A and B are shown apart, each in its own frame.
Chain A
Amino acid sequence: DPKIIQKPKYLVAVTGSEKILICEQYLGHNAMYWYRQSAKKPLEFMFSYSYQKLMDNQTASSRFQPQSSKKNHLDLQITALKPDDSATYFCASSQDNWSDYTFGSGTRLLVI
């Protein structure tokens, strides 16, 4: 059974629209993260949360907003979508900020 569930697996969106990427972890971890992998680029850090509080933020654009309704949830809302937002978005978690990570299988987003 997957320990980190990301939904949907694939997503096609129209430029200018808004989407929410879902992430739930069932590992009992206290820290959760979002990373992005664009074509031909290394995985890039976006956000980290610990005990549902924002700890670190690398995303310059306010169009990307993480949302944590429960300790084991960290969704990612993206507004005013652009074609450059096309990427695979990975959610991850760890017991605390200095432990090993477990990654979800990713949401592959295509903005047309």
Chain B
Amino acid sequence: GQQVQQSPASLVLQEGENAELQCNFSTSLNSMQWFYQRPEGSLVSLFYNPSGTKQSGRLTSTTVIKERRSSLHISSSQITDSGTYLCAMSGSALGRLHFGAGTQLIVIP
């Protein structure tokens, strides 16, 4: 079965609103990483966060291992935040990442 589930599948925000993206995983965790996939397809690493909370600018990632979930909070969204947000986890020492299907975010003026 699918090991990583992301929600919501899509989200439309007005500029300035906040967003909370969820990632749930079904196996034990070695690593957790959040990526932003640009509309043209390239991937940008946002956070490597296997546990706890990390913040970078308007983005905050929180991973709670016991609850098998990670979240990405975007505050004061901007139009340029539009794109697909992917979470990926690894449950083994071999490093293989399992990706979620992504959350497609659209920010409108």
Contact = CB atoms under 8 A, between A and B. Distances in A.
Q: Chain B: interface residue count, which band?
A: 20 to 34
B35 to A, nearest CB: 7
B42 A45 contact: no
Interface residues of A, number: 28
A97 B41 contact: no
A100 B33 contact: yes
Considering the complex of A and B, which 7 residue pairs feature the smallest CB-CB distances, nearest first? A97-B95, A100-B48, A103-B43, A43-B99, A105-B42, A56-B94, A42-B99
A69 to B, nearest CB: 21
Contacts of B48: 99-100
Contacts of A101: 33, 45, 88, 97
A105 B41 contact: yes
A89 B34 CA distance: 19
Contacts of A58: 96
Contact of A56 (B86, B96, B100): B96
B33 to A, nearest CB: 6
Nearest to A58: B96
B31 A98 contact: yes
Nearest to A108: B41
B98 A45 contact: yes
Contacts of A88: 41
B102 interface: yes
B93 A102 contact: no
Interface in B1-46: 4, 30-31, 33, 35, 41-43, 45
